[in-house]
Structure 1
Amino acid sequence: MVNYIFDGTFDGLMTVIYVSYYNRQIPNDILSENSYQKNFLGDDIYISTDINKSDKVQNAITTKISKEALKNIYYVYLSELESSYMLIYKYVRLGFKIGRKINYFLQNDIVNDVIKLSQRINHEAYKMIELIRFKEIKKGLFYAKIHPDYNVLPLIVPHFAERFQDQYFVIHDVKRNLSAVYDKKSWIITDIPPEITLITKEEEDFENLWKIYYKSISIEERKNLRLQRQHMPKKYWDMLTEKQ
């Protein structure tokens, strides 16, 4: 029983798949080093991340399976579920056998699980895009906080970089302590926490006006908190200006 251990990165996982094929060895499990516990019943092999090997695997997936398959794999990886690593591995192996039609085989548990999980991550990304509220914390610098169930930060930043090309902004995933920083040219994701100060006077005035407007258009007799929670789960309320 061989377990592959890697650094938890996507390139690391792709390297694991490369090594497995090269060694003609099917692992019993694939684990990230952050959650790894020593296994005394089998062999544990640590696989160092190799960008070249990762690129080869991703190119092979794109050409032999499809771009859609590679996207599904990346989305499933962003779920951060420990079980997702073996699921991705099995999906890739199956894809190399079936080819471009793999996603039509929804009766297969592996394909079905990948598609469903990928859709959940995609839905979460769209939800964050809809909900994000930026605040001007310094003149010309905008900040927004999120705490999604899945690590969708890499999926949503391109949208805002395209939409707000002329603004500096930070999107802070407080759940994972990751920050996406955009400087009007490019963006990076870093684990360095942003330095948050009080919002600007203009931003405070705008927020107060928005709260007044929100309150003025609401009809107390028609307030339905249960329906609100159905359309907007309470866990997201702290991201909304009108709920603060």
Structure 2
Amino acid sequence: MSRSLTPYNRRKATVAAASATPRPTAPALTNAPLDYAYDGSFEGLLTVLFAVYDRKAAPNSIQPLGEVQGGLFAQPVQIDTNEATATRVWDGLLRHMDKEARARLYHVFLSEQPDRELLVFRYADLAMRSARDISENYADDNVRRVAHIAQQMFREKHRMEAFVRFEKTSDNLFHATIDPDFDVLPLIAPHFTKRYADQRWLIFDKRRRYGLYYDLQRTDVVQFETSTPQRSTDISATVLDEREPLFKLLWQSYFDHVNIPERKNMKLHRRHIPLRYWRYLSEKQPREQRFQPINNKRPVQPGGPALPPAPSDPNDSEPGKA
């Protein structure tokens, strides 16, 4: 039996020494605070984080270029996005937090909170200056907010994956329009790419004016520019597949027939499927045809069999007759 060349006690001491080695800390921010501006992308925000420590100047504010509000005597410092620098910062964060905690920073960015940029900076700065993991330090307000936002994002992502309904167009494209509370399209892309890999589809976020398009090869981000905002989640009936109304009717009929009126509990139903998601669901749309229960039950005759005998075939001859 082979053994390690390093004795157990020595290996244990080596591991203990490695764990006792202090983690690298962020440089002190000794210069006067600055206002930073970036292009609004997550890579741009990571580049700003690098610039903060490179200039040793804490941020007074971090604002997207389209929302910059300059002061009376000072203008924000514009930081150009550098993908190589952003990758370096993103990889470097793993020295101070695990992958799950790092993913929360991306979720905070997608949450579109008014102070999301400063929240990302404060969480990352706290992690880099702490000697231990901070992901469960809920006594800190920033850690608690990041965890809460990440939970909200996960819930919205899960519901979008469950409640999105596609409509088939005449050119065999499956289309869905959504309006989530948070920017969850980047989070749901892997789910739909894997689940609907055999069909072309487009999921469009009408609030943020961009979507995901899958062409049977890969999923790309697409944007649409229109002069008037879209107010409806429906697309024109002229571009739908001619069988789409039938599919909708069949789905509604199935939903009606599997429903059990005696077990109706709307309070529980709204808890699992909130009202704001009903607009996506075919079974929640107004019925074009009135629901009629299937009348396939035969009454039980008193003192007789539970079911009447099956009717005889008129083509069969009676016994004893040719």
Does the TM-score normalized on the shorter chain lie above 0.5? yes
Distance in 2 between the 1:213 and 1:29 partners? Answer: 54
Give the secondary-structure state (helix, strand or coil) at the position aligned to 1:102. Answer: coil
Distance in 2 between the 1:99 and 1:47 partners? Answer: 30
Per the alignment, residue 68 of structure 2 pairs with 36
Distance in 2 between the 1:24 and 1:73 partners? Answer: 22
Matched, 1:216 2:248: no
Per the alignment, residue 121 of structure 1 pairs with 153
Equivalent of residue 109 in structure 1, options 141, 151, 168: 141
Give the secondary-structure state (helix, strand or coil) at the position aligned to 2:208. Answer: coil
Q: How far 1:222 sits from its partner (Å)?
A: 5.7
Matched, 1:201 2:239: no
Instruction: Give the aligned CA root-mean-square deviation in angstroms.
Output: 2.1
Are 2:96 and 2:133, in contact at CA under 8 Å, matched by a contact in 1? no
Q: With the length of structure 2 as denominator, give the TM-score of the two structures.
A: 0.71
Per the alignment, residue 167 of structure 1 pairs with 199
Q: How far 1:33 sits from its partner (Å)?
A: 1.7
Give the secondary-structure state (helix, strand or coil) at the position aligned to 1:88. Answer: helix
Are 2:35 and 2:75, in contact at CA under 8 Å, matched by a contact in 1? yes
Worse-matched range after superposition: 41-50 or 173-182: 41-50
Matched, 1:7 2:48: no
Per the alignment, residue 96 of structure 2 pairs with 64
Equivalent of residue 279 in structure 2, options 221, 238, 243: 238
Structure with the higher helix share, 1 or 2: 1
Cα shift readout 1:197-231 (whole Å, capped 9, x = no counterpart): 43212222111111122223335566554443333
Give the secondary-structure state (helix, strand or coil) at the position aligned to 2:201. Answer: strand
Are 2:35 and 2:77, in contact at CA under 8 Å, matched by a contact in 1? yes
Are 2:169 and 2:175, in contact at CA under 8 Å, matched by a contact in 1? yes
Per the alignment, residue 49 of structure 2 pairs with 17
Distance in 2 between the 1:68 and 1:21 partners? Answer: 24
Are 1:31 and 1:82, in contact at CA under 8 Å, matched by a contact in 2? no
Distance in 2 between the 1:23 and 1:63 partners? Answer: 21
Equivalent of residue 112 in structure 2, options 54, 76, 80: 80
Cα gap change, 1:100/1:144 in structure 2, threshold over 3 Å: closer, same or farther?
A: farther
Give the secondary-structure state (helix, strand or coil) at the position aligned to 2:207. Answer: coil
Give the secondary-structure state (helix, strand or coil) at the position aligned to 1:129. Answer: helix
Amino acid at match of 2:198: D
Amino acid at match of 1:2: L
Q: How far 1:65 sits from its partner (Å)?
A: 2.2
Q: How far 1:178 sits from its partner (Å)?
A: 1.2
Amino acid at match of 2:88: K
Cα shift readout 1:133-190 (whole Å, capped 9, x = no counterpart): 1111134311111111000000001101011111100001112111100011111112
Worse-matched range after superposition: 140-149 or 36-45: 36-45
Gaps of 5+ in 2: 1-32, 227-234, 286-322
Distance in 1 between the 2:206 and 2:123 partners? Answer: 31
Per the alignment, residue 127 of structure 2 pairs with 95
Instruction: Indicate the structure whose relative CO is greater, using CA pairs within 8 Å and at least 6 residues apart.
Output: 1
Give the secondary-structure state (helix, strand or coil) at the position aligned to 2:67. Answer: coil
Distance in 1 between the 2:72 and 2:177 partners? Answer: 42
Worse-matched range after superposition: 176-185 or 57-66: 57-66
Distance in 2 between the 1:160 and 1:11 partners? Answer: 24
Distance in 1 between the 2:99 and 2:257 partners? Answer: 48
